């Protein structure tokens, strides 16, 4: 029995040694993590995510968390008798719906994540994009082609925003004081308007503005699958574009891939789409040789 225990300890030592090059490479670097999907719903996954983020901060990495909250918004709207409407994957956000979006994202989901990180031993601060005008935005309109090529249909989806500028001062201040920012994807318009913005997009823009080392997107899939239904561990921009053109990458994966490409073009070194349904998926992707999802590079 004693020998077995020693062998198990040696294996644990091996795991620590495997992480050493990554600890050295990422010390002092910023990693932006978009938190969403099952990892935000299942209790064990929520706890493991908070532990991952706290550990990263303790070992000298600067994590910045941007979270979604679509399912939580949908449930709240349903309880209030408000029907959700979507156009091209964007929730139509106006009137009462916009109020609920802001209430759930900023007042409920954001504070829960901050509390979880605090319970894990971290020092987190909850923000929305409106705080310190962190995320400036303008109204986004959806255009659809019509029979008249010169006059596409313009669809108003309410106060859904497009990021125009990221002001990083508040994030730099929090980092200097060793706090972990947790950001709700709500932006501020020029006239003080509130905009609901896709969380993947906000994460990519913040990663770009901070010149982050990595952007990591948590999803409810193992990563990007090829035409042969096999998981692809690593892709470059050229292959990504080919897969989009051929329809291999489609649906809900498209905005995530676009976010990764935006971050890479903006100077982020590597991006990752990983399975948030796996406990400690963030640590497994960043600190092991094999990783746990799909890595995308230029």
Domain annotation covers residue 143: yes
Domain annotation covers residue 296: no
How does pLDDT run across 208-250, given as a tens digit for each residue?
999 999 999 999 999 999 999 899 999 999 999 999 999 999 8
Question: CA triplet 257, 298, 244: central angle to 5 degrees?
Answer: 35
Domain region containing 165? 27-221+270-288
Look up residue 179 and give its DSSP letter: P
Assign 4 a pLDDT band (cuts: 50, 70, 90). low
Q: Provide DSSP, 244-270.
A: HHHTSS-TTHHHHHHHHHHHHHTT-SE
Q: State what percent of residues in the chain have pLDDT above 90.
A: 73
User: What pLDDT is attached to residue 148?
Assistant: 63
* Greater model confidence, 6 or 103: 103
Distance between CA atoms of 205 and 216, rounded to whole angstroms? 13
Segment 261-274 shows an average pLDDT of 96
* Residue 193 reports pLDDT greater than 50: yes
Domain annotation covers residue 243: no
User: What pLDDT is attached to residue 16?
Assistant: 82
Copy the structure tokens of residue 91.
Answer: 């929730």
How does pLDDT run across 109-137, given as a tens digit for each residue?
999 999 999 999 999 999 999 999 999 99
* Residue 3 reports pLDDT greater than 70: no
Domain annotation covers residue 240: no
Based on the structure, what is the number of domains in the chain? 1
Domain annotation covers residue 36: yes
CB 264 within 8 A of CB 297: yes
Residues paired with residue 139 on neighbouring β-strands, in sequence order: 161
Domain annotation covers residue 160: yes
Domain annotation covers residue 187: yes
User: What pLDDT is attached to residue 30?
Assistant: 97
What is the CATH classification number for the domain harbouring 102? 3.40.1160.10
Q: What is the mean pLDDT of the chain?
A: 91
Domain annotation covers residue 209: yes
Distance between CA atoms of 182 and 53, rounded to whole angstroms? 11
- Side-chain-side CA neighbours of 38 within 13 Å: the count stands at 14
Distance between CA atoms of 216 and 39, rounded to whole angstroms? 13
């Amino acid at each position: 029995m004693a020998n077995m225990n020693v062998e198990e300890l040696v294996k644990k030592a091996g795991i620590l040694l495997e992480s050493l090059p990554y600890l050295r490479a990422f010390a002092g670097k910023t990693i932006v993590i978009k938190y969403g999907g099952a990892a935000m719903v299942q209790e064990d996954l929520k706890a493991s995510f908070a532990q991952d983020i706290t550990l990263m901060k303790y070992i000298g990495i600067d994590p910045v968390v941007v979270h979604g909250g679509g399912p939580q918004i949908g449930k709240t709207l349903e309880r209030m008798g408000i029907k959700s409407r979507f156009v091209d994957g964007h929730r139509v956000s106006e009137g009462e719906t916009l109020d609920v979006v802001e209430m759930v994202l900023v007042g409920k989901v954001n504070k829960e994540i901050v509390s979880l990180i605090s319970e894990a031993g971290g020092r987190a601060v909850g923000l929305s994009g409106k705080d310190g005008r962190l995320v400036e935005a303008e109204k986004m309109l959806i255009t659809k082609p019509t029979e008249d090529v010169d006059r596409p249909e313009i669809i108003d989806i309410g106060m859904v925003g497009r990021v125009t500028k990221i002001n990083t001062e508040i994030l730099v201040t929090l980092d200097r004081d060793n706090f972990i920012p947790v950001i709700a994807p709500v932006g501020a318009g020029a006239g003080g308007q509130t905009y609901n913005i896709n969380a993947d997009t906000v994460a990519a823009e913040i990663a770009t503005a901070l010149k982050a080392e990595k952007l990591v997107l948590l999803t409810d899939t193992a990563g990007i699958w090829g035409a042969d239904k096999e998981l692809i561990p690593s892709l470059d921009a050229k292959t990504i574009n080919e897969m989009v053109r051929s329809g291999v990458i489609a649906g809900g994966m498209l905005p995530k891939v676009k976010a990764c490409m935006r971050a890479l073009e903006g100077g982020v070194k590597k991006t990752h789409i990983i399975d948030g349904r796996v406990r400690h998926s963030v640590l497994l992707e960043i600190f092991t040789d094999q990783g746990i999802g799909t890595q995308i590079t230029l």
